[in-house]
Amino acid sequence: MDTKTMNPHLKTTPSKHGAHPVAHAWVLRTLAGVLLTGLGLTAAHADGSRMPAKILPSYTAECAACHTAYPPGMLPARSWQRIMKGLDQHYGSDASLDAKSVTEIGQWLQTHAGTYKRVSEEPPQDRLTRSAWFERKHRQIDKAVWQLPSVKSAANCAACHTGTERGMFDDHNLKRPAGLSASQSRAWND
């Protein structure tokens, strides 16, 4: 990645064309998107990250210290609101934070909430793993697979999704967790 596209405020060498590097990158991205879509791939493959372009640093530092940095769009705003209000009892663990971080992270989550798969339902216990879209996507996964020591729970996306850190969850970035039986392994075949 070009360092200048990462920080447009840095002083740049004047260009003969006068094209702003960010605009340049945007054009290329758009072009790539159009080309890939033309080839029958969806936009999700062209730019598969489910994470917002700018990830709040405190979201990574605080939330991802214990678990996957879940894309905010995978839960509706109301669910995030409840989660941020009850951090001292957070799915069996005390995840309490200072007030400033709670406000900052809470606002960021509200801004980016509920865009994936037209998320609108508030899943039971505000667990994204109980959402209809999640269960549909994972319907071929044997229930026992979630309990494998190499998986631990459905919330451990990275057990199978190798692109988790980058917010990529498509079927092309999958691995088989250790301990799968032959029949359980079949869900990974296609």
Partner 1 sequence: MRPSQHSSHPSRPSRPPTRLWALAALCAAQTLFMPGAQAADTTPAQQLSHWTAQAGAPAQAERGQALFNQRHGGEWSCASCHGTPPTAQGKHASTGKSIEPLAPAFNAKAFTDTAKTDKWFKRNCKDVLSRECSAQEKADVLAYLTRIKP
User: Per CB under 8 A, does 107 bind partner 1?
Assistant: no
Looking at residue 93, the DSSP 8-state letter turns out to be B
Interface segment toward partner 1; rule CB under 8 A; list 90-98, 108-116, 118-126, 178-186: 90-98
Paired tokens of 172: 């092309």
Stretch that binds partner 1, among 1-9, 75-83, 131-139, 178-186 (CB under 8 A): 1-9
**Counting beta carbons within 10 angstroms of the beta carbon of residue 83, is it exposed (0 to 12), middle (13 to 18) or buried (19 or more)?**
buried
Q: Does 97 bind partner 1 (CB under 8 A)?
A: yes
Binding of residue 29 to partner 1 (CB under 8 A): yes
Per-residue tokens: 50? 């489910």
Distance, in Å, from the CA atom of 64 to the CA atom of 129, rounded to the nearest integer, reads 17
Tell me 171's DSSP state: T
* Paired strand residues for 90: 93
Tell the smallest beta-carbon distance from residue 80 to partner 1 (Å).
Answer: 18
Q: How far is the CB of 91 from partner 1 (least distance, A)?
A: 7
Any contact of residue 153 with partner 1 (CB under 8 A)? Answer: yes
12 contacts partner 1 (rule: CB under 8 A): yes
Applying CB under 8 A, the span of 24-32, 78-86, 129-137, 167-175 interacting with partner 1 comes to 24-32
Residue 166's CB is within 10 A of a number of other CB atoms, namely 14
- Per CB under 8 A, 39 contacts partner 1: no
Contact assessment for residue 167 and residue 158, using Cβ atoms and an 8 Å cutoff? no
> CA geometry: angle at 71 spanning 69 and 76, to 5°?
125
The answer to whether 25 contacts partner 1 (rule: CB under 8 A) is yes
> What type of residue is 183?
S
Contact 105, 52 (CB under 8 A): no
Q: Least Å distance between CB 117 and partner 1?
A: 23
Minimal distance in Å, beta carbon 94 to partner 1? 4
Give yes or no for residue 151 binding partner 1 (CB under 8 A): yes
Q: Does 43 bind partner 1 (CB under 8 A)?
A: no
Classify the C-alpha dihedral 53-57-62-64 as positive or negative.
positive
Applying CB under 8 A, the residues found at the interface with partner 1 are: 1-7, 10-13, 15-17, 21, 24-25, 28-29, 32, 57-58, 60-61, 64-68, 88, 91-98, 151-153, 155-156, 159
